[in-house]
Amino acid sequence: MLIRAGIKRASGIIAGVGTDDENVLLVRLAGQLNPDIFIVAHVSRDSSKKTLEEADANKVISSYDIGARRMAHAILRSTVIKFLETAWHQQN
Higher per-residue confidence, 45 vs 74: 45
The tally of domains found in the chain comes to 1
Kindly report the average pLDDT of the chain as a whole number: 91
What range does the domain containing 26 cover?
Answer: 7-91
pTM of the model: 0.76
Dihedral angle sign, alpha carbons of residues 13, 17, 20, 25: negative
In-domain check, residue 2: no
> How far does CA 38 lie from the centroid of its chain?
11
How confident is the model over 79-84, as a mean pLDDT? 82
Q: Is residue 21 part of a domain?
A: yes
CA distance 79 to 15: 34
Tell me the CATH number at 78.
3.40.50.720
Q: How far apart are CA 56 and CA 24, in angstroms?
A: 9
| Average pLDDT score over residue span 14-24 | 96
Helix (H) or strand (E) holding 59: strand 59-62
The confidence score (pLDDT) of residue 92 equals: 59
Question: Could you give the dihedral angle defined by the CA atoms of residues 31, 37, 38 and 44, in that order, rounded to the nearest 10 degrees?
Answer: -30
pLDDT at 45 over 70: yes
